[in-house]
A and B are shown apart, each in its own frame.
Chain A
Amino acid sequence: MEHLKLTVNGKIYELLVDAHEMLSKVIRERIGLTGTKIGCEQGSCGACTVLVNGEPVLSCITPALRFNGANITTIEGIAKNGELHKLQEKFVEKGAIQCGFCTPGMLLTSLDFLKKIPNPNELQIREALSGNVCRCTGYQKIVDAVSEYADEQNGKTVQKSKPSNKLGIVGVSRPYTEATKKVQGIADYADDYKTKDALHVKFVRSTYSHARIINIDTTKASELQGVRYIALGKELPITFGVLPISQDETAMAIDKAIYAGQIVASVAADTEEIAAQACKLIKVEYQPLKEFLTIDESLNDVGDAEKIHSHTKFNNNIHKKAELRFGDQQQGLKDAEVVTKMDFEMIGINHGFTEPHAATAYWDENGLTMISSTQVTHYLHRALAKTMEVPLSRVRVIKPYLGGGFGGKSDPFAHEMIIAHIARKTGKPVRVRLTREEVFLNNHGRHPSKMTVQLGASKDGMLQVLDADVAIDGGAFGSFGVVTTYYNGVLLQAPYKLNNFGFRTYRVYTNKPQCGAMRGHGAVNSRFAVESMIDDISRKINMDPVEMRMKNFLDSNTLTVGHYRITSNGSREALQAVAEQSDWKNKHRKMPLGKGIGVACGFFISGSALPIIWNELPQSVVHLKLDFDGRVLITSGANDIGQGSDTMLAIIVAETLGISMDKTFVIAADTLITPVDFGSYSSRVTFMAGNAAKNAAENLKIEIATAVSNKKEISIEELNFSDSRIFSNDKKVDLSWYEAVDILVANRGAVNTSGKYISPKLGGDFKGSGAGLSPSYSFGSCVAEVDVNTETGYVKILNVWGAHDCGKALNPMAVEGQLQGSWHMGIGQAISEEMLYYNGLLLNNNFLDYKIPTSLDTPPIYTNIIETIDPEGPYGAKECGEGALHPIIPAIANAIYDAVGIRITKLPIKAEDVLRLIKENQTKTEKI
């Protein structure tokens, strides 16, 4: 150990550290300032940025001893005397924060850069922040915040958005309630919890894609000083999975490993380093089996070879087949005057959330407590009870602040089962934190898919028939895959009216990390295919693709061919908005070679109407407690994963009760304290938890009104709740909120109310009719403008205009953030992101080689919120966090067609493919 002296945020620390210990570890683990985040451990994401003697340094790749004696400022040292720095204030004000995990790095990087360039333009800001990855915001609001801060510092008048004249709470832009915590780095994420005397776990992972485990020799590892427990697969034989029909995963491989990266042994030790060292000493003997790495291999009969899972029906690796047909596709083909048929291939992608999975588990007199970065406390609760073989009443799951999820934290995970098990075996708390490589190996990302799609239209532009034949690569386990299998097909039945529609989807198991749900779940790839083909047909019939889409949109208050109940529908308004804003008419087919503009549309569910686990629980329950102090405690099982759902709950309750936001307090996603909510997936939280919150608040309102009515001898109907007052129109009764609360709690004490949301019964009477059913649907459009370099094939996205019908924007700033983040993620899948394998081994398992667009690669994004006031959404709201992603990829591909006349059928759109297609095309024709 070496002596290290640091002054951190003005305080002197004298420490003993390992000679090669990184500065980030010293700051986080030894000093305990966890605002410095660890996202990639290779200097690619910027989350670990600190200032050393005033200069920004990536602390996760900096040996601490280099800066012996230095003066260090971490994010916790930026606010002074209880006052935020103006830039922190600006981040809060502009909504530049979602999950908040990149925020400390973004702020410190910006502060340094602004010292050198105090008056930057937008490009300079994007350049300066291009070493800091944000996966939530699409960078737009961060760039805006930095820009506006600089302007204010330079004395420029900043055009403030006008203070809203609207009364009430709903519809007013506001920062997340926890935003000030996040800008100071004091919001605790899963890896920031320091439980006393905890053991650290590291894993031995299979080096084979498919292999029988012959022997595991742990002798040497168990002799290492500091090793406390070594767990093997056979200790945890009970299977789990998010879907009851796909309980096909065990915490560790037992007899055989089915993907390279699967956990085969786990070591708990006093430190992470010792656990890692012990893992190296464990020798595993494998007997390789035939591997199945591609969709085609897994569709085929395996012959004498061993299947990946013995439970699959036939002698192949097909996990699930789904097929539904509506109308008369043969007749549709006859009616269609133009039919186009294309093959598409999309590679798998990963969520790329900035916070790696982390968790802590311990057992005490209350059973198991699990603090984990999860999107679904409820399903994790169930999975832990099942695998630990304890009653549900002996498990508590707590979600701390979460550094992004996007679907990637919505399954129960092996590492959670393992630390729960080891914590029980050792009687000690156990911690785990995955490396970025392990996050990628964990995956659950978007399925690679191959599809053949046939689309027919009559010459007047009306769509007559759609057929999709899809195969998706599920990887080693089921995850959400059965749902994904359906979604790839069923979610093509809107936003256009289609009378003749059918699909067939296969999901196969392969010996690779499993795929699952990712933003826009299941329908992103097939949406890309269909929107590209609509563009193709519009060219063939020489009709403007905007016009063609307008003609085909479903109306409001209608049924789709597969019995989806469409209520509010802002498709037309969304498309209109982006067409006008982008100057579509003057650009499409009118720009010089290399420049192009493209459009596409999409739709998505606003929460799945059916629960994953069939039971009669409501989809969501929210509890309120009101005591003498006048503050309404809102408890909900819904998981705020950075999308702002805690704030959403407070907005709805405050609006309903006519009180200000500071009279609310949200506790969410702690299964002991909060009522069940199914979690943050399928874009359900605003709609379902929001409705439950509204219902709970209405019930509380009745309680208050009844108490006031009894006391003041006035009928309930005469009472108004507004502006934190309860009053009658004639002001005979005119009480402050606190006076009303006094009346309520007199002789009674705290009042609790409960609210719930149960989806209406929906859908047709056929097998598979439940897939994609939702009480409401969102709709959206994008226009993208590109510049294609015809010499290199490089595609530069110049602008994105997007519009999304979210019903009602409860918090417009949060909605914009969700939309911009969705479009950014779509841009990544469109142009650069891919999971590449070498013999089943993931090649690009880090943030350097997995290409998330940086701030420089992300164009300016123009955001339009379309409001249709959904009849069943809380205050008219519906989803905005996933559906917006759907149109952006095909909009980019269609823009490339407009630019250089080539049709993209493969994702991501790599420069080399573009160039090849341009060359192939040149032999055929000039720009069309």
Chain B
Amino acid sequence: MIAEKVYLKPHTIEEALEFAKKYKNSFRFIAGGTDVIVNKFQGNDITDCLIDLTEIDEMKSITIDDNLLKIGALVRLDDLQKNKIIAEKFPALIQAANAVASPMLRKTATIGGNVLCENRCKFYNQTEWWREAAGHCLKCNGNICIATGGKNKCFAKFVSDTATVLISMNALLEIADNAGIKIVPLKDIYTGDGIKPRNLLTESLLKNIILPLDKEYKVVFNKLRPRETVDFTSLTTAVSVSKNQEVKIVIGGVDSRPLIFEAKSSSNFTDILENAVKSSKPVDNDYYSRDYRKEMVLVFLRKSLEELNIIQ
């Protein structure tokens, strides 16, 4: 029989967490839902209960709190550019947000949803029929990774353009769960495992994304994709330099987690770039080949560092 489906719309975080507890066996939080719903159509999400967060007003505001900017997880990607502080202090975040999906999708998709966007692989983001025909891969309860021709690890790639930029600016996440509120650095949530790429509990909620206002980051963002819109990333890079000349290089789209490299603007970048390229181990799960994406890592990073006047 077709299982009973439930759709809930809590108005507060507490209510949302209560619902999560009640339906803990088979639920999912959805914000914009632009990815989750497609995953449901494809049978990659088979939860019976959807907890729609979009009516929780406390997750929709952008506030300043003691030199920190708090961006509510439900702020829509399209709305970020309307905030003057973000436009002034964190233009790269707007650039990244505007590089996500299409203008239409950005009117529904949220910053929280994009930061926590499910990892993707061309052998996984397929319908149930397709995955059965291909032989289920690791990420859908199979035995091997198809993209690598049989490895015992899932390489589904991290594709969040906004998270890549946010990490380069040392963003923190404010997470609510039944134990209370905790703050964790965004960079620390990644496991490196494509199957379960983040160490957050299913029943925890991302409430705010927090950015330091006093670091005066300059960030160069780049995204590789075949079309100028719509597409998920084949490679995303964000290179930041703070007022203290701390340089952070973040690479998305080439691994199950973002790759992060730290330096000073005075560092010797030859080794750092070499290391970044070497550490980028894309697999063939994308429109572009892994060799090309790896090659582009160096091109993008060089260009970014040049733009920041860090290298010539």
Interface residues of A (CB under 8 A from B): 2, 18-20, 22, 41-44, 46, 49, 55-58, 61-63, 65-66, 68, 109, 113, 127-132, 205-208, 260, 273-274, 277, 280, 437, 791-792, 832, 838-839, 841, 843-845, 848-849, 851, 853-854, 856-857, 910-912, 915
23 contacts between A and B (CB under 8 A): A19-B5, A41-B38, A42-B38, A46-B104, A49-B104, A63-B30, A66-B7, A66-B9, A127-B229, A129-B103, A130-B103, A131-B230, A791-B299, A791-B303, A832-B227, A839-B134, A843-B122, A843-B126, A848-B231, A848-B232, A849-B122, A853-B227, A915-B295
Q: Say whether B289 faces chain A, with CB atoms less than 8 Å apart.
A: yes
Q: Say whether B201 faces chain A, with CB atoms less than 8 Å apart.
A: no
A42-B41, A61-B33, A63-B52 as given contacts; A841 in contact with B133, CB under 8 Å? yes
Minimum C-beta distance from A384 to chain B (A): 27
A131-B101, A841-B130 as given contacts; A911 in contact with B6, CB under 8 Å? no
Closest to A856 in B: B228
Do B230 and A848 touch across chains, with their CB atoms under 8 A apart? yes
Q: 1/0 per residue B91-126: CB within 8 Å of A?
A: 000000000011111011000000000000011001
Do A130 and B228 touch across chains, with their CB atoms under 8 A apart? yes
What residues of chain A lie closer than 8 Å to B30, measured between beta carbons? 63
Residue pairs across A and B with CB atoms within 8 Å: the count is: 144
> Out of A19, A61, A109, A277, which one reaches B34, CB within 8 Å?
A61
What residues of chain B lie closer than 8 Å to A205, measured between beta carbons? 129
Do A273 and B2 touch across chains, with their CB atoms under 8 A apart? yes
Minimum C-beta distance from B130 to chain A (A): 6
Among the interface residues B6, B103, B291, B295, which one has the most CB atoms of the partner chain A within 10 A? B103
> Out of A22, A57, A65, A910, which one reaches B107, CB within 8 Å?
A57
Closest to A207 in B: B133
Minimum C-beta distance from B235 to chain A (A): 10
A100 vs B296: C-alpha distance when bound (angstroms): 40
A912 vs B134: C-alpha distance when bound (angstroms): 27
Do A838 and B146 touch across chains, with their CB atoms under 8 A apart? yes
> Out of B230, B287, B289, B296, which one reaches A130, CB within 8 Å?
B230
> Out of B40, B104, B127, B132, which one reaches A131, CB within 8 Å?
B104
Told that A832-B226, A910-B288, A915-B295 touch, could you supply 16 new A-B pairs with CB distance under 8 A? A19-B5, A20-B7, A41-B38, A43-B102, A46-B102, A63-B7, A68-B9, A131-B102, A131-B104, A207-B132, A207-B133, A273-B2, A792-B224, A843-B122, A911-B288, A912-B288
A22 vs B41: C-alpha distance when bound (angstroms): 11
What residues of chain A lie closer than 8 Å to B233, measured between beta carbons? none
Do B122 and A57 touch across chains, with their CB atoms under 8 A apart? no
Q: 1/0 per residue B206-242: CB within 8 Å of A?
A: 0000000000000000001011111110000000000
Minimum C-beta distance from B16 to chain A (A): 14
Interface residues of B (CB under 8 A from A): 2, 4-7, 9, 30, 33-34, 37-38, 40-41, 50, 52, 54, 101-105, 107-108, 122-123, 126-130, 132-134, 146, 224, 226-232, 287-289, 291-292, 295-296, 299, 303
Do A854 and B229 touch across chains, with their CB atoms under 8 A apart? yes
Do B6 and A19 touch across chains, with their CB atoms under 8 A apart? yes
Do A854 and B230 touch across chains, with their CB atoms under 8 A apart? yes
Minimum C-beta distance from B162 to chain A (A): 18
What residues of chain A lie closer than 8 Å to B227, measured between beta carbons? 832, 851, 853-854, 856-857
A43-B34, A127-B229 as given contacts; A62 in contact with B108, CB under 8 Å? yes
Closest to A849 in B: B122
A20-B40, A58-B34 as given contacts; A277 in contact with B2, CB under 8 Å? yes
Do B104 and A109 touch across chains, with their CB atoms under 8 A apart? yes
Do B37 and A55 touch across chains, with their CB atoms under 8 A apart? no
A130 vs B303: C-alpha distance when bound (angstroms): 27
Minimum C-beta distance from B43 to chain A (A): 9
A127 vs B129: C-alpha distance when bound (angstroms): 35
Do A44 and B230 touch across chains, with their CB atoms under 8 A apart? yes
What residues of chain A lie closer than 8 Å to B104, measured between beta carbons? 43, 46, 49, 56, 58, 109, 131-132
What residues of chain A lie closer than 8 Å to B102, measured between beta carbons? 43-44, 46, 130-131, 854
A42-B41, A62-B33, A207-B132 as given contacts; A792 in contact with B296, CB under 8 Å? yes
A277-B2, A792-B296 as given contacts; A130 in contact with B229, CB under 8 Å? yes
Do B122 and A844 touch across chains, with their CB atoms under 8 A apart? yes
A791 vs B30: C-alpha distance when bound (angstroms): 40
Minimum C-beta distance from A391 to chain B (A): 38
What residues of chain A lie closer than 8 Å to B230, measured between beta carbons? 44, 130-131, 848, 854
Do A851 and B129 touch across chains, with their CB atoms under 8 A apart? no
A63-B33, A130-B230, A911-B288 as given contacts; A208 in contact with B133, CB under 8 Å? yes
Closest to B130 in A: A841
Do B129 and A849 touch across chains, with their CB atoms under 8 A apart? no
A66-B52, A849-B287, A912-B292 as given contacts; A857 in contact with B228, CB under 8 Å? yes
What residues of chain A lie closer than 8 Å to B33, measured between beta carbons? 61-63, 66
A43-B38, A791-B303, A838-B123 as given contacts; A437 in contact with B130, CB under 8 Å? yes
A853 vs B229: C-alpha distance when bound (angstroms): 9
Minimum C-beta distance from A475 to chain B (A): 16
Do A207 and B129 touch across chains, with their CB atoms under 8 A apart? yes
Minimum C-beta distance from A208 to chain B (A): 7
Closest to B133 in A: A207
A538 vs B192: C-alpha distance when bound (angstroms): 54
A742 vs B150: C-alpha distance when bound (angstroms): 81
Do A851 and B287 touch across chains, with their CB atoms under 8 A apart? yes
Do A65 and B9 touch across chains, with their CB atoms under 8 A apart? yes
A2 vs B226: C-alpha distance when bound (angstroms): 42
What residues of chain A lie closer than 8 Å to B303, measured between beta carbons? 791
A857 vs B122: C-alpha distance when bound (angstroms): 23
What residues of chain A lie closer than 8 Å to B229, measured between beta carbons? 127, 130-131, 854, 856-857
What residues of chain B lie closer than 8 Å to A207, measured between beta carbons? 129, 132-133
What residues of chain B lie closer than 8 Å to A839, measured between beta carbons? 134
A241 vs B170: C-alpha distance when bound (angstroms): 62
A405 vs B303: C-alpha distance when bound (angstroms): 44
A348 vs B234: C-alpha distance when bound (angstroms): 22
A68 vs B7: C-alpha distance when bound (angstroms): 11
A19-B7, A851-B226 as given contacts; A131 in contact with B103, CB under 8 Å? yes
A280 vs B292: C-alpha distance when bound (angstroms): 39
Closest to B40 in A: A20
Do A43 and B105 touch across chains, with their CB atoms under 8 A apart? yes
Minimum C-beta distance from A443 to chain B (A): 15
A300 vs B101: C-alpha distance when bound (angstroms): 44
Minimum C-beta distance from B41 to chain A (A): 6
Among the interface residues A41, A849, A915, which one has the most CB atoms of the partner chain B within 10 A? A849
A41 vs B41: C-alpha distance when bound (angstroms): 8
Closest to A913 in B: B292
What residues of chain A lie closer than 8 Å to B295, measured between beta carbons? 915
What residues of chain A lie closer than 8 Å to B4, measured between beta carbons? 19
What residues of chain B lie closer than 8 Å to A911, measured between beta carbons? 226, 288, 292
Minimum C-beta distance from A129 to chain B (A): 8
A129 vs B230: C-alpha distance when bound (angstroms): 11
Do A127 and B103 touch across chains, with their CB atoms under 8 A apart? yes
- Nearest 10 Cβ contacts at the A-B interface: A131-B102, A131-B104, A912-B292, A207-B133, A19-B5, A130-B229, A856-B228, A19-B7, A61-B37, A65-B7
A208 vs B228: C-alpha distance when bound (angstroms): 35
Do B130 and A20 touch across chains, with their CB atoms under 8 A apart? no
What residues of chain B lie closer than 8 Å to A57, measured between beta carbons? 107-108
Do A61 and B38 touch across chains, with their CB atoms under 8 A apart? yes
What residues of chain B lie closer than 8 Å to A206, measured between beta carbons? 133
What residues of chain A lie closer than 8 Å to B224, measured between beta carbons? 792
A63-B7, A131-B229, A854-B229 as given contacts; A58 in contact with B105, CB under 8 Å? yes
Closest to B289 in A: A912
Closest to A919 in B: B295
Minimum C-beta distance from B22 to chain A (A): 15
A645 vs B102: C-alpha distance when bound (angstroms): 33
Among the interface residues B37, B105, B134, which one has the most CB atoms of the partner chain A within 10 A? B37
Closest to A208 in B: B133
What residues of chain A lie closer than 8 Å to B126, measured between beta carbons? 843, 845
